[in-house]
Amino acid sequence: MTTRKYFGTDGVRGTVGGSVINAEFALRLGYAAGRVLAAKHPGRGRPAVLIGKDTRISGYMIESAIEAGMSAAGIDVLLAGPVPTPAVAYLTRALRLVAGVVISASHNPYQDNGIKFFSSQGLKLADEVELRIEKTIDQPLDCVESALLGRARRIDDAAGRYIEFCKSTFPNEMNLLGMSIVVDAANGAAYHIAPYVFRELGAEVFTIGCEPDGFNINDGVGATEPDALIKEVQNRNADIGIALDGDADRLLMVDKSGRLYNGDELLYAIVSDRMLDRPVSGVVGTLMSNYGLERSLDKLDVAFERANVGDRYVLETLQKRGWLFGGESSGHILCMDKHTTGDGIIAALQVLKAMKRQRCSLSELVSDLRLYPQVMVNVPLPESGNWQSHDGLKKAISNATELLGKKGRVLVRASGTEPILRLMAEAETEDLAKEAVNIMNSGLE
């Protein structure tokens, strides 16, 4: 595959003012994407795209620059303002647009930002389209003639449309009356959306992380820092807590006791409930999904496949296998029977639906799932850098794997940012996991 210069696994991301997240690059990216999308547009009239963003102060700058670049390429622009990433995917599809643009760095601090695209079907943009955009970015910036310039307008009801879409994924015959929920929107894109979804379904809703100021996104709140939510749930004696991240595509949940539930547990809750209606063919996790999830799904006769870390790879594997459910332990959960992308609000609604239908608590819902203890150590990368060919490590991995059998698993992977190797083992007991890690580590000595 052609080496990417700008796009990563989830669009373009970096520090604001850096080499890619700046006004000039955003202008060029908007123009390049506009040219590529215009060439793909088969219909009459001007093609149109939707731009949504989270609550970072830099979103204003990037939004204006992308809008200008798109207009110069002859693309109409619809501005949705602050909305979750999955809202852009939905609105792009619902409004029959050629693409959607999200300005967000997800769970990163406000100093970072990013730009990613959705196709007209509400899916991540195809690799070949991203590569065409990359090839166009460094070409001279141009402009169509005045009569062909794109227009821009705001969609005033973008939030309302998406709220209704989220509610439509919850059964009509059910409601959340009698349930108290604390919603933590991470001071991000769902601050004016998530509380209304659950409130309009009947729940008593309390909020934290719903007062963005441009600088406090993911700061001490949200799915990456759930301690504030745990405390608020306990103080309020609420039934459940819902933690989203800055762009609301990630979900963690907290029960009345203050116990935190990660993405593996929530995915299991959703899948096991779906099986009350029809068989589930398979589930996609990642290399980091807990081995306990794999074993528990196996007991339900549900196939399990691991993809590389990243919701993009989970989605690709789901499409390849024709399956509907997948996710990451970090909280990205995909329910392809409800949406085309990971959606924290919709995933939460599926968990609440399972609790309501089965008349049980979240802890009871996942009582059959036992997460395995995990032990991981970081060791220096071999001098050659090619750890896969290290004979001592290869033999040690084989020995550790043989030791665990079906009682656990091992994973060895290099860090993407540091010259270190991560040795990880999951097993039925922590002592067994430690023994497996020690065996692997000894192979490097």
Cite the active site residues. 106
Whether the Cβ atoms of residue 232 and residue 383 lie closer than 8 Å to each other:
no
The C-alpha torsion from 181 through 182 and 185 to 191, rounded to 10°, is 70
CA–chain centroid gap for 388, Å, is 29
**Main-chain phi, psi angles of 400, to 5 degrees:** -65, -40
Q: In what order do the strands lie in the sheet with 408-414?
A: 374-380, 420-427, 408-414
Specify the pairing of strand 374-380 against strand 420-427: antiparallel
Residue 164 and residue 179: Cα distance in Å, rounded? 20
Sign, CA dihedral 320-325-326-331, equals positive
φ and ψ at 334, to 5 degrees? -110, 125
Distance from C-alpha of 240 to C-alpha of 205, rounded to nearest angstrom:
10
Whose CA is closest to 188, among 231, 153, 223?
223
